[in-house]
Amino acid sequence: MKKKNIALLNTITSLILQVLTLINGFIIPRIILVYFGSEVNGLVSSLTKFLSYIALLEGGVTGVVMANLYKPLTDKDDNKLSSVINTTRRFYKKIAYIFLIYSLLLALLYPVIFKTHFSYSYVLWLTLILSITSFIQYCFSLTAKTLLNADKKVYIVSITQSIILIANIILSIVAISIYPSVHILKLLSAIIFLAQPIIFNYFVNKNYTLDQNAKDDPNLLKSRWDGFSVLIAGFIHTNTDVLLLTIFTNLNTVSVYSIYALVGSGLRTILSFLSNGIKPSIGQLYAKDKYEELNKRFDIYEYLNFFLVFLFFSVACLLIVPFVMIYTKNITDADYYQPIFGIIIMLAEGFYLIKNPHVDLAYAANKFKEIKIPCYIEAGINIIVSLILIKPLGLIGIAIGTLAAMIYRMIFHIWYTNKALIKRRPITFIKKMLSFGSFTTIGIIICKSLIPNVNYNLLNWLWHGIVYIIIFGILYLINSLLFYKDELKSIKEYLE
């Protein structure tokens, strides 16, 4: 298969996966809200975040491993490849066993530390069930998944996970109609997930000649602490808000946050198809020192990222509150009308994603050591600002903390790309921000003044969503024709 066709296949299958992930992410919480209420939804969200804290022990290994796989794959160095894979596999299995202990401790202590209306056994068993999926991932599938992704076989991962998600949605709907139980609902998801490592490892064994007796790479795990800062920053971004809300508020507020966060994480998931499809190519071009081709590929990536992030998040800022009100219709045990919080959290997610091409380039270049201090600063800004503002402002304070951290990290990466990776003046990024921002302002004025969304029902929301996407799409196309003809030409050449 031609390289262009592989990249296109990776992008398409990754997009399908992200759409299915988004659908799954909306259907399952809605089922929980309708059948069990906001407090159960808040409990599931809180427990899921606490269980994810085990990822801190990983210390950023996944990113470091990915960066260290590009060269042996490019050079077809089976011995080096085997060394990296064996080291990674053993490390992840240790994490899996530690995770078992952590999950048990969390199950025993959570219902004691955080008072809820649920029985001790209810919380304990739910915690253990929710932990199954992460254990399977660390023990059996994460190493194989990382190898496939690094070797531009993203389509194998995407297709496998897409089938699992479809099965999960179908079985969840059937199960809840037969016997409504959140424990059974989550247990079925865990059982379905068992198919993933079986399929991943089948393709790894089929496509690679790996020596199980190859010596470990002594330097690989040492360098993981440089990647740890990256893990911390991402972890703080996706998990700490729920921890702070669990401590300082209540599970109903956690539920409100989680529903708004569904929109941001859903859009982040969809847009990750672009990164998943292009990042392996960028990594291998950097490993081969092909900087001219890398710059051209980077132009395409940055332009497409701007177009899609501004398109989706401009519409999301206008429609997030109507969506949440429709999504939580007849759910009256929490106040889901939070317009200011909704807009700020969407802006934060937008700034988080707009820097993706620059972040991916730094990761692919294995520059974890060089960027670790800014990652820690980002995490610190997020936590400190959130702690200061959570009491007086609640959800809005949490969102402001996230937004401040995202703006800082974006500014750093734009500067770092030009300084240490490839010659790209920061003004190139700034011009894109200004041009897309200007057309966004025009779009918001048109939508708010001429086509406001005031009736909260599904058909009206869908109609406004389609119209808003068309309006912003036309405006960004005009912007592209005026200022980004070279990028459009490069995309055309790439697809031909």
Q: What tokens appear for 44 in the block? A: 């599931």
Distances (CA, A) of 352 to 26, 70, 313, 409, 412: 21, 26, 11, 8, 12
**Is residue 227's pLDDT more than 80?**
no
Residue 365: per-residue pLDDT:
76
Q: How confident is the model at residue 273 (pLDDT cuts 50, 70, 90)?
A: low
Q: In b/e form, how buried is each residue of 280-304, taking b as 16+ CB within 10 angstroms? A: bbbbbbbbeeeeeebebbbbbbbbb
Query: Higher-confidence residue: 339 or 235?
Result: 339
Q: What is the rounded distance in angstroms from the CA atom of residue 135 to the CA atom of residue 131?
A: 6
Q: How confident is the model at residue 374 (pLDDT cuts 50, 70, 90)?
A: confident
Residue 142: per-residue pLDDT:
85
Q: What is the mean pLDDT of residues 350-360?
A: 88
Strand, coil or helix: what is 116?
coil
Q: What is the mean pLDDT of residues 205-210?
A: 87
User: Would you mind telling me the total number of residues written for the chain in this entry?
Assistant: 496
Q: What is the rounded distance in angstroms from the CA atom of residue 319 to the CA atom of residue 324?
A: 9
Helices (H), 355-483: 356-364, 368-393, 395-416, 426-450, 458-483
**Is residue 427's pLDDT more than 80?**
yes
DSSP at 117: S
Residue 274: per-residue pLDDT:
66
**Is residue 481's pLDDT more than 80?**
yes
Q: What is the mean pLDDT of residues 352-367?
A: 83
**Is residue 2's pLDDT more than 70?**
no
**Is residue 482's pLDDT more than 90?**
yes
Give tens-digit pLDDT for 60-73.
677 778 778 877 88
pTM for the predicted model, two decimal places: 0.73
The Cβ of residue 213 has, within 10 Å, a number of other Cβ atoms equal to 6
Sign of the CA dihedral running 236, 28, 276, 210 = positive
Query: Hey, where are the domains in the chain?
Result: 1-222, 227-496
Query: Higher-confidence residue: 490 or 156?
Result: 156
Residue 4: per-residue pLDDT:
56
**Among 92-96, 149-153, 275-279, 450-454, which is the least confidently predicted range?**
275-279
Residue 58: per-residue pLDDT:
67
Q: What is the rounded distance in angstroms from the CA atom of residue 409 to the CA atom of residue 380?
A: 11
Give tens-digit pLDDT for 449-480.
999 887 788 899 999 999 999 999 999 999 99
**Is residue 288's pLDDT more than 80?**
no
